[in-house]
Structure 1
Amino acid sequence: MLDITFQFIVLYNVVISIITYYFYYIDKYAARKKRKRISEIKLLTLSLIGGWIGALIARSILRHKTIKKSFILKLWITIIANICIELVILNPSIMSVLKG
């Protein structure tokens, strides 16, 4: 049986990814209609806190935020940071290795 922490992280990531996808959708719609946009920092924060899967799906399906290289770099940094954080949560022994 899967560890409860792992189950929680999976469920959390699914929910936050759906929310992130929705934010990308709203931003894409706003861009098309020349309305107020969602800030990049909000989109990147959502990715950092676990919504990066939703961000990648939204970028692919909606063809949104696919050109600006600085945003793409920042997005990949948030993805790597989130994966590292989740690995430490799932395997606390990683911290003891990092501490020396």
Structure 2
Amino acid sequence: MTILFYCFLIINTLAFLVIGYDKYLAKKHKRRIAEKTLLSFVFIGGTIGSGLGMLTFRHKTTKTSYLWKFWGIVIFQIGVLYLLFTNGIIPFK
């Protein structure tokens, strides 16, 4: 269980930093990080880091198409967790 915690900590920290770096690139008018890459971090578990990065850096918070995809992934993840917990695959302690 400890290894899973550190994996999520690392992916969320990376997601936070990538959002911040993309905001930096946007301000400097440089080549940006693809939305597909940013959303990939969300999909593999960096939801909290990406969300905090969006709020902290005020990045991607007004882009409707990105927000739809972000929240779609969040809802999907909640659904998967619900199914895993209710079917006893992940025991609730």
Using the size of structure 1 for normalisation, the TM-score is 0.76
1:45 corresponds to: 40
- Gapped regions of structure 2 (runs ≥ 5): none
Alignment of 1:93 with 2:87, yes or no, is: yes
Does 75-84 or 40-49 show the bigger shift? 75-84
Distance, in Å, in 2 between the alignment partners of 1:15 and 1:85 is 21
Q: Is this contact kept in 2: 1:18–1:54, CA < 8 A?
A: yes
Q: Aligned AA for 1:29?
A: Y
SS at match of 1:50: coil
Using the size of structure 2 for normalisation, the TM-score is 0.82
Q: Aligned AA for 2:69?
A: K
Shift of 1:25: 0.9
1:25 corresponds to: 20
More helix by share: 1
Distance, in Å, in 2 between the alignment partners of 1:70 and 1:27 is 17
**Can you list the C-alpha shifts for 1:14-57, whole angstroms capped at 9, x where unaligned?**
21110001110110010000111000010011001100100110
Q: Is this contact kept in 2: 1:48–1:81, CA < 8 A?
A: no
2:61 corresponds to: 66
Q: Is this contact kept in 2: 1:59–1:66, CA < 8 A?
A: yes
Distance, in Å, in 2 between the alignment partners of 1:38 and 1:63 is 16
1:15 corresponds to: 10
Distance, in Å, in 2 between the alignment partners of 1:84 and 1:94 is 14
Aligned length: 89
Distance, in Å, in 1 between the alignment partners of 2:19 and 2:27 is 12
